Amino acid sequence: MTRTTPPPGGTRMPRGLRTGSLLAALALTLTACSPGGTTTEPTEQEPTVQSASPEPTPSEPTPDPGGTPSAPPSTPPPSSTPSSSADAGPSPAGTEALLPVTLQQDAAAGPVQYVLECVGGAPGAATTLPGAESACAALTRLGAAFFTARPDKDVICTQQYGGPQTASITGTLDGTSVIAAFSLTDGCQISRWTAAQDILGAPGAS
């Protein structure tokens, strides 16, 4: 049996252990040689985040510190100009008339003449017709068209006789010249006289 004699100077290190030690020493050396000793990973720069809310425009109301938006300034309404009709003043109310009225009871009697003057719908100073207040009211109700209308030939009138009375009205009524004749010779003429009886008197009255 052969005995192995250890080498002089101590115990001999196995080859695998020596290789591992050399690699560890090499790694330590490389680490020590790098700048700063440690390697810093580069950090990614954070992107700049813009505000999603837009800046208020001059036309929008700016909120006050209390959180209530201030109302935009109101524009005062344009001043109204008075119309020319208001400057002219109120128009006179009522009927204006100056009418000579002639009444005749029959062909043998002489005509009787009166004057009907209405100023603002009331009897004027020149009035001589009896019952002038009712007469002026009748003029307002009838209007100038009643006294200027011409008989309609197509209208059939009843053949009735109301009496021999006749009357005529001339002059101006609300600025219109009027001339009208009245009689009681048929139903149509009797109706016209009755409509104006506040001026002419009742049909058949003497």
**pLDDT-derived band at 80, boundaries 50, 70, 90:** very low
Please give the C-alpha separations between residue 62 and each of 50, 75, 76, in angstroms, as whole numbers: 21, 18, 21
- Higher pLDDT: 139 or 84? It is 139
Q: Are 86 and 76 in contact (CB under 8 A)?
A: no
Q: Is the pLDDT of residue 47 over 60?
A: no
Q: Which amino acid is at 141?
A: R
The predicted pLDDT at position 82 comes to 38
**pLDDT-derived band at 103, boundaries 50, 70, 90:** very high
DSSP secondary structure code for residue 10 in this structure: S
- 145-152 average pLDDT score: 90
**pLDDT-derived band at 146, boundaries 50, 70, 90:** very high
The predicted pLDDT at position 101 comes to 97
Q: Which pair of tokens denotes residue 157?
A: 């009138």
DSSP secondary structure code for residue 133 in this structure: H
**pLDDT-derived band at 94, boundaries 50, 70, 90:** confident
**CA 183, CA 36: separation in Å to the nearest integer?**
139
Q: Is the dihedral of CA 151, 155, 159, 161 positive or negative?
A: negative
> Which residue, among 200, 192, 181, has the nearest Cα to 135 in the 3D structure?
200
The predicted pLDDT at position 150 comes to 86
pTM above 0.75, yes or no: no
Q: Is the pLDDT of residue 18 over 50?
A: yes
Please name the residue ranges forming H helices in 93-131. Answer: none
- Could you tell me how many residues make up the chain? 206
Distance of CA 191 to the CA centre of its chain: 48
CATH class of 97-200: alpha beta
User: What residues does each domain of the chain span?
Assistant: 97-200
**pLDDT-derived band at 205, boundaries 50, 70, 90:** low
